[in-house]
């Protein structure tokens, strides 16, 4: 093990911000090196921002310095902070995250907001397709303890990860299982179906940038200019929705028109889209009523 000379938190932050400087501008995830250094130290050593401010003159132990040196090396290679620390925040949940699936994004919280704004039965049955860490499903299960939430993913490692999150958070109104979209859900009906499926075109240059280049293509990329999974879900959702049930989907910022067309073609009414906080059209959805 390398022997690290004694260092205070303040000095470590200063040196680390300088070390990260070459990445700023190159890596879209690192826009503010001082903030990045604070997040790295806080997340690796589990120190809140307030506590960090009070401990700036504390000396870091050798064990802490070794942990931080390893984390900094990985961060300098561009690895996302969430994969280095293995945890990330979504809505009001701290989730375990892993490279088998996407790191939950703030944009996706719009789907949670939308779900909570709908007039659904008190004991609504809700389905989250492609659950990854379980982010959407677990946020809803926590917000609505009387809802019965089902969450599926086709990736066995993602299912195991979502189950660990569900068990740690003790959200017993959420069932998690493995399914290729609807394949394991025959005969079930839901009042609301949500999904943040893969929707990026395989040639999209964003796949080579920032955190995204460390995330699995199976969580990101879909054929047909990114629309194949969105189309599959729109086409099959009516078989799994109750009368008057809703489907809401996250999609790329240029895909709202295409997704609205997919929803209309599948028979959905009251089709609309919502913008994210950056002003981009981010989610679209509609209501299903069986033809008379
Ligand atoms: C964009 S990620 C979303 C993860 C999570 N819902 C979130 O918002 O953070 C897409 C997820 O869909 C899953 N997925 C991809 N193809 C699938 C399929 N055919 N059936 C079920 N899940 C699938 C991936 O494994 C991945 O976890």
Q: What is the domain-level CATH number for residue 101?
A: 3.40.50.150
The total number of structural domains in the chain stands at: 2
| Side-chain-side CA neighbours of residue 183 (13 Å) | 7
Please tell me the distance from the alpha carbon of residue 44 to that of residue 63, in angstroms, as a whole number.
12
CA of 152 to the centre of ligand 1 (A): 8
Residue with CA at minimum distance from ligand 1 atom 19:
180
Cβ 250 vs Cβ 206: under 8 Å: no
CA of 101 to the centre of ligand 1 (A): 7
Does 234 lie in the same domain as 170? Answer: yes
Does 131 contact ligand 1 (Cβ within 6 A)?
Answer: yes
Does 229 lie in the same domain as 106? Answer: yes
Please give the number of the atom of ligand 1 that sits closest to the Cα of 155.
25
Does 280 lie in the same domain as 140? Answer: yes
User: What is the pLDDT, as a whole number, of residue 33?
Assistant: 85
Does 165 contact ligand 1 (Cβ within 6 A)?
Answer: no
Contacts of 217 (CB under 8 A, 6+ apart): 198, 202, 207
Per-residue pLDDT of the chain (292 residues; tens, 9 = 90+): 456 667 999 999 999 999 988 776 655 455 688 888 999 999 999 999 899 999 999 999 999 999 999 999 999 888 988 999 999 999 999 999 999 999 999 999 999 999 999 999 999 999 999 999 999 999 999 999 999 999 999 999 999 999 999 999 999 999 999 999 999 999 999 999 999 999 999 999 989 888 899 999 999 999 999 999 999 999 999 999 999 999 999 999 999 999 999 999 999 999 999 999 999 999 999 999 977 7
Does 22 lie in the same domain as 130? Answer: no
Does 166 lie in the same domain as 66? Answer: no
Mutate to test the pocket of ligand 1, among 95, 114, 132 (most ligand atoms within 8 A of CB): 132
User: What is the pLDDT, as a whole number, of residue 28?
Assistant: 46
Does 246 contact ligand 1 (Cβ within 6 A)?
Answer: no
Does 268 lie in the same domain as 158? Answer: yes
Residue with CA at minimum distance from ligand 1 atom 13:
130
DSSP string, 96-155: E--TTSPPP-GGGHHHHHHHHHS---TT-EEEEES-TTTHHHHHHHHH-TTSEEEEEES-
> Beta strand pairing status for 241-250 and 281-288?
antiparallel
User: What is the pLDDT, as a whole number, of residue 29?
Assistant: 56
Please tell me the distance from the alpha carbon of residue 194 to that of residue 137, in angstroms, as a whole number.
9
Please give the number of the atom of ligand 1 that sits closest to the Cα of 131.
6
CA of 132 to the centre of ligand 1 (A): 5
User: What is the pLDDT, as a whole number, of residue 211?
Assistant: 84
- Among the three residues 25, 60, 78, which one is the final residue of a domain in this structure? 78
Please tell me the distance from the alpha carbon of residue 127 to that of residue 189, in angstroms, as a whole number.
9
- Among the three residues 15, 48, 78, which one is the final residue of a domain in this structure? 78
Does 252 lie in the same domain as 165? Answer: yes
User: What is the pLDDT, as a whole number, of residue 26?
Assistant: 58
* Residues spanned by the domain of 278: 88-288
Determine the 3-state secondary structure of 88 from DSSP.
Answer: strand
In a domain, 2, yes or no: no
CA of 212 to the centre of ligand 1 (A): 14
Please give the number of the atom of ligand 1 that sits closest to the Cα of 132.
27
Mutate to test the pocket of ligand 1, among 80, 101, 182 (most ligand atoms within 8 A of CB): 101
CA of 198 to the centre of ligand 1 (A): 6
Please give the number of the atom of ligand 1 that sits closest to the Cα of 199.
1
Does 12 lie in the same domain as 42? Answer: yes
Does 98 lie in the same domain as 57? Answer: no
């Amino acid at each position: 093990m390398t022997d690290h000379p004694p260092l205070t938190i303040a000095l470590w932050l200063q040196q680390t911000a300088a070390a990260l400087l070459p990445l700023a501008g190159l890596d879209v995830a690192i826009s503010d090196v001082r903030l990045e250094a604070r997040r790295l130290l806080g997340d690796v050593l589990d120190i809140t921002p307030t506590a960090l401010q009070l401990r700036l003159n504390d000396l870091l132990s050798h064990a802490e310095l070794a942990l931080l040196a390893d984390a900094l090396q990985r961060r300098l290679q561009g690895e996302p902070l969430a994969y280095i620390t293995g945890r990330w925040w979504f809505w009001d949940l701290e989730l375990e995250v892993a490279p088998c699936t996407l790191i939950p994004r703030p944009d996706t919280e719009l789907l949670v907001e939308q779900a909570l704004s709908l007039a659904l039965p008190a004991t609504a049955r809700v389905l989250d397709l492609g659950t990854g860490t379980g982010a959407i499903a677990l946020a809803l299960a926590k917000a609505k303890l009387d809802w019965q939430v089902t969450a599926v993913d086709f990736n066995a490692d993602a299912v195991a990860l979502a189950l660990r999150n569900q068990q740690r958070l003790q959200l017993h109104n959420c069932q998690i299982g493995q399914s290729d979209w609807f394949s394991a859900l025959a005969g079930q009906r839901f009042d609301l179906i949500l999904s943040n499926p893969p929707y990026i075109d395989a040639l999209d240059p964003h796949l080579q940038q920032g955190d995204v280049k460390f995330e699995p293509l199976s969580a990101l990329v879909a054929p047909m200019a990114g629309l194949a999974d969105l189309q599959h879900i729109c086409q099959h959702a009516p078989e799994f929705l109750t009368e008057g049930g809703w489907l809401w989907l996250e999609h790329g910022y240029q895909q709202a028109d295409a997704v609205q067309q997919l929803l209309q073609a599948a028979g959905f009414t009251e089709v609309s889209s919502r913008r994210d906080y950056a002003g981009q059209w981010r989610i679209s959805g509609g209501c299903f009523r069986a033809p008379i």
